[in-house]
Chain A
Amino acid sequence: MLKTRYESFDHTADLGLRIYGKDLKELFENAAFALFDQITATDSVGASKSEVFEVTGDDPADLLVEWLRELLFFWLGHDKLAPKTVIKEISNNRVKAKVYYEEYLPKKHPIKTEIKAVTYHMNKVTEIDGGYEATVIFDK
C-alpha cells in the first residue's frame, strides 16, 4: 500500500516532486493533483466543468511530462485550475483523460507558488513495490 500521493524534495534550482500510484492511471491522476496542490489550495477548487485531454509521448516518463505540460498550460494560458482528473485510457505512450476544472477567481483561490515549467531534468517513471514512482522537477 502506498502511503502518499506525492512528496516534494529539494533541488537547488527549484521544486522536485516524487509522485506515487498503484498503477499508471493513479500515478497520472496523482501527478495532476500534485501540480495543482503546489499551485493552489486544491479544496478551494470546484469541479463542475470538464474537458477531455488527449496527450501522447515516447514512453511513460515522457508521457508524464507531456501530460503535466498540458495541464500547466491550462492554468498559465487559460487561467483554469484542474486538480481533479479521471484517466479514461492509458498506455505507455498515450493518455486520454477527463479534466475537471474551475476558472481562477482571485478571491476564492489562493495562489501558493508560481510554477513556470515542467522540466525533463532527472525525469523518470519506475516500478516499485506496490505500483509506480515518478520524479519530476519543476521550474519556479
Chain B
Amino acid sequence: MRKDIKQAGEFVWDVEKTDNMNVPGRIYSSVELIGDVVKDNGIDQVKNVARLPGIVKASLAMPDIHWGYGFPIGGMAAFDWDKGVISPGGVGYDINCGVRLAVTSLTESDVQPKISKLATALHQGIPSGVGSTGSVKLDKKEVLNVLKNGSKWAVENGFGVPSDVDRTEEQGCLAGADPEAVSDRAITRGLKQLGTLGSGNHFLEIQVVDKIFDQDAARAFGISLGQVVVMLHSGSRGLGHQVCDDYLSLMTKQAAKLDIELPDKQLSCAYINSERGMRYFQAMCAAANYAWANRQILLHQTRKIFQQVFTTSATSLAMNLVYDVCHNIAKKENHIVDGKEQTLCVHRKGATRAFPPGHSALCDAYKEIGQPTLIPGDMGSNSFILKGTQKAMDETFGSTCHGAGRRLSRTAAKKLCKGRAIHRELLDKGVHVKWTGRSTLPEEMPEAYKDIEAVVEVVHGAGLSLKVAKMRPIGVVKG
C-alpha cells in the first residue's frame, strides 16, 4: 500500500497534502475497491489536480475512479469562480456525457415475449456505432439554435413533451452557452450526428425494476417493482470532442505564459475570469446543450419504436422521463465553504450531481425527496437510481459516482475474451444484446469494469446519495 494515502473512515481515504499541492486529496472507496485504485495511476492524478490554482477544499475522487488523461475519471474538483481555473481536461472530451431514464406502463411479462424483436427494432431505428449519422438533418443556422437551447429546441421541434424539459438537469439548457465560441470544425462534426447513440460504453437498455430500497422515493420517481424502464447513455458526440480538443490546444500553448506549473499537459487550463477561460466555458455550455438535445431526440425515437412494437399509443405506454443527469461537466454553482457561500466552478469528470431535498435547482416533483441520480452499470450488469443528500452537499459539492469505472484496458479485455462469445454468455443471463462494431462486445465485457454494486455501496454507505431502486437489463443496444 502506498504511504501517501490513509484510511480516514469506513469509506474515505485521505491523500496527504505535499508542498506542491494547494489542498489535500480525498478518495471515496472501500476495502474491497481500494486495491485496484492503488494499482492504477488515478491517485497521482488526484494529487496533480490538487496543484491547480484556486482549487477549494480538496481534490476529490469517487469510488469508480480510474486512470484518465490529466484528471482521473471519477474525479471532481471545485475552483473559486474569481481566482480559480477551468480546464477542458477536467470536463473530458465527451462534454455532458450523461444518462436518462424513462419509465413505461409495461411489466416484464408484457415485454419478454417481444424482447428480441424490440431490441432489434431499437438497434435498427436508432443510429449507433462508428461514423453513424443521425436522422435529424441540420443546417448550420439550426445547429446554432440547438447549441443555444438544448432540450428546449428538441421539444419545440417535436422531439418530446414539455415535461421532459422539467425533468432534466438544468432543464436541459445551460444559459452560459454562446454558439459563437464553438469552432466551425466542431459544428462540421455536429451537423451529421444529432440523434445518434455513439459507440464505446454508450448504450440504450431495456431494464426491469428488480428491487426497491426506498418506497417513498420510488413512488415520487414513478418507479415500481417489475416495471420495464429504458435507460439511455450518450453525450455530445464529435461536437463535444472537438470543443475539448480546440480549447486544450489553445490552452496548452498559453500555459507557460500563465505561470501555472502543469505536471501533465492534459491538465491545461485558463483562469475562469479570462477571455480564454470564459470562451471555453461558453463553448462547453453550448456542447452540453447539444448533448441534451441529442438524448432528447434519442428518447423520442425510443418512444416511437415502443409504440410500433407494442402497437399502442404514447398515452397508454406512459414513457415519462424520470430524470436526465450529466456526468462530464463544469458548472457555476454556489456552495458553502468554511461556513461561507462561495461561487465555484465545479468540475465533474465522471461524477454525477446529487442535490438534496429542498434544493432550488430541483423541479417541484422532486423537491421533497431530492434529486434522482442515475448510475448506469456496464453492459449486462445492474443499474441504480439513487437520491441526492445533504451529506453530498456538505462533503462533495453535491456530487456522487457515475458508474462502474473501467478495471481493464480495452486491449486487456480483448485478450481475456479470446475464444468466448460474449453475446451468448449474456443471453444465458437473460440479456439480449444487439450491437454494431466488431470490437464492441469484447472491449465492453463485464469483467472489464469494476463491480457496480460495490461502487454504489460506497456512495450509499458514505451517504453521498442513497439507493432507491436497482434495475436489471433484459435488452441492450450498443454501437
Contact = CB atoms under 8 A, between A and B. Distances in A.
Nearest to B187: A77
Contact of B249 (A10, A69, A116): A69
Interface stretch (B137-145, B298-306, B394-402, B406-414): B406-414
Interface stretch (B104-112, B260-268, B286-294): B260-268
B93 A13 contact: no
Interface in A119-140: 119-123, 137, 139-140
A77 to B, nearest CB: 5
B247 to A, nearest CB: 12
A117 B244 contact: yes
B189 A122 contact: no
Interface string A41-79: 000000000000000001000100110010001001100
Nearest to A75: B131
B44 to A, nearest CB: 12
Interface in A65-102: 65-66, 69, 73, 76-77
Contacts of A123: 265
A12 interface: yes
Interface string B458-479: 0000000000000000000000
Nearest 6 pairs of A and B residues by beta carbon: A121-B69, A120-B265, A121-B266, A114-B130, A10-B409, A12-B67
A137 B69 contact: yes
B252 A62 contact: yes
Interface string B63-80: 000111110010000000
Interface residues on A, range: 20 to 34
Contacts of B242: 73, 76
Contacts of A65: 249
A61 to B, nearest CB: 9
Interface in A1-44: 8, 10-15
27 contacts: A10-B411, A11-B409, A12-B408, A12-B409, A13-B68, A14-B69, A58-B252, A62-B252, A62-B253, A66-B249, A69-B245, A73-B185, A73-B242, A77-B188, A104-B131, A112-B439, A113-B439, A114-B199, A114-B200, A117-B93, A117-B245, A119-B69, A120-B69, A122-B264, A137-B69, A139-B69, A139-B241
Nearest to B438: A112
Nearest to B41: A12
A132 to B, nearest CB: 19
Contact of A121 (B130, B265, B412, B437): B265
B412 A10 contact: yes
B90 to A, nearest CB: 13
B134 interface: no
The dominant DSSP class at the B interface is mixed
Contacts of B130: 111, 113-114
Contact of A140 (B189, B200, B249): B200
A120 B40 CA distance: 19
Contacts of B408: 12
A12 B266 contact: no
B248 interface: yes
B237 to A, nearest CB: 9
Interface residues of B, number: 37
A131 B70 CA distance: 28
B152 to A, nearest CB: 27
Nearest to B39: A12
B84 interface: no
A15 B410 contact: yes
Nearest to B405: A12
B94 to A, nearest CB: 8
Given A12-B406, A13-B409, 13 more contacts: A10-B411, A11-B67, A13-B67, A13-B73, A76-B238, A77-B185, A77-B189, A116-B93, A116-B241, A117-B241, A119-B69, A120-B264, A139-B93
Contacts of A111: 130-131
B253 A14 contact: no
Given A117-B245, A139-B241, A13 B66 contact: yes
B268 A120 contact: yes
B435 to A, nearest CB: 13
Contact of B266 (A58, A113, A119): A119
Contacts of A62: 252-253
Contact of A120 (B238, B266, B410): B266
Contacts of A139: 69, 93, 241
B265 A114 contact: no
A13 B185 contact: no
Contacts of A116: 93, 238, 241
A30 to B, nearest CB: 20
A140 B238 CA distance: 11
A76 B131 CA distance: 8
A140 B266 contact: no
Contacts of A113: 130, 439
A138 B266 CA distance: 12
A120 B248 contact: yes
A77 B184 CA distance: 10
A13 B266 CA distance: 14
A38 B245 CA distance: 20
Nearest to B245: A117
A113 B442 CA distance: 13
Choose among A10, A76, A116 the residue with the greatest number of B CB atoms under 10 Å from its CB. A116
Contacts of B131: 104, 106, 111, 114
B255 to A, nearest CB: 10
